[in-house]
Amino acid sequence: MRIERSLVIIKPDAVERGLVGQIIKHFEKADVHIKAIKIMNLDRKKAEDFYAEHEGKDFFESLVSYITSAPIVAMIIEGTGCVEKAREIIGKTSPQEAEEGTIRRLYAISKDKNSVHASDSKYSALREVNCIFNEEVNQVA
C-alpha cells in the first residue's frame, strides 16, 4: 500500500466537550501522521460545499446547521492506507453500531452528533481536503 492523505474533522460536539486531544491520540496510536491541523468555524457556504453530495436530502439542512454551530478541528492525516484506517478508527456512524474502542462508540452523543468525520474514499479525501484547506493544502509538505 502507498501513502495516502485524508481529512478528519473533530465536530462541534466533541470540541465543545474538550475531547480534541483524546480523539487525536486514537490516530497517533494507529501510526497515522497529522500533516496539518487547524481550528476553525465553517461558514454556511463552505459547509454547503463540503456536504454538496447530500444536497436535496432531508438531512442536508441539519448537517449544515450542526457543522456551523461551533468550532471544528480539521486535520489532514497521512499514512499507509490512512483512508480506510481512519474509517476503522472512527467507527460506524451510529455509536450503538460502532465497534468497541472506536471514537464514535466512546465519544458520540448520537448518530447526528457523532463527534468526528473521516473521508470515506480517496476521491472524497481529495475533494474534502481541498474544500477545507484550499490554498493551504499546497503548503503541506
Residue 114 CB contacts under 8 Å (≥ 6 apart), including other chains: 11, 13, 93, 94, 95, 104, 108
Q: Which of 17, 5, 18 has its CA nearest to residue 80?
A: 5
Return the C-alpha cell found at 126: 481529495
Q: Which of 110, 88, 109 has its CA nearest to residue 99?
A: 88
Contact 136, 35 (CB under 8 A): no
Three-class SS string for 95-108?
CCCCCCCCHHHHHC
Q: Which helix (H) or strand (E) holds 141?
A: none
Residues taking part in catalysis? 117
